[in-house]
Amino acid sequence: MASVFTRIIQGELPARIVFQDERVIAFHDIHPVMPVHILIVPVKEIPTADDITPEDEGVLGHMLVVAQKVARELGIGDSGYRLIINCKHDGGQEVYHLHMHLLGGQRVGPIIAKRS
Ligand code: AMP
């Protein structure tokens, strides 16, 4: 069965799309946790980060280029942002179609406490 993100790519489900080409789509998260919360998703149905293979290196680099472009277009290129990929259960992944969260528009809190 197609993932929820594949259904968005195929136009079967609505989304607020900010970027789309033959390899990557980017759209607003339906439940944003920050003023800017975009999901950057490869068209290829790679379930998790643990399923990435060397042949996916190109699309992964493209996801980063798209993240930079979208961040700049949404006005957070200078203030900064955080890119997150959750992987499987312990990583907090809910949708098993690889995606990168682009978070910004305010300061993102620490995920891992820094040692003093
Ligand atoms: P993750 O926990 O990393 O798997 O994140 C999945 C994200 O997908 C969550 O932040 C959800 O809010 C988001 N999400 C789920 N369904 C949709 C949808 N139909 N449109 C946009 N975002 C969605």
Structure tokens at 111: 């995920």
The overall average pLDDT reported for the chain is 96
Report, as ranges of residue numbers, the positions in the chain whose pLDDT lies below 50.
none
pLDDT of residue 113: 67
Question: What beta strand segments (E) does 29-111 contain?
Answer: 36-42, 81-84, 100-104
Would you state the pLDDT for residue 89? 97
Name the burial class of residue 70, with classes exposed (0-12), middle (13-18) and buried (19+) by CB atoms within 10 angstroms of its CB: buried
Measured from the Cα of 85, ligand 1's closest atom is 3
- CA of 7 from ligand 1 middle (Å) equals 13
- What pLDDT does residue 111 have? 78
CB of residue 48 inside a 6 A radius of ligand 1: no
Q: What CATH number does domain 4-104 carry, 3.50.50.60, 3.30.70.270, 1.20.1740.10, 3.30.428.10?
A: 3.30.428.10
Task: State which H helix or E strand residue 8 sits in.
Answer: helix 4-9
What's the predicted TM-score (pTM) here? 0.96
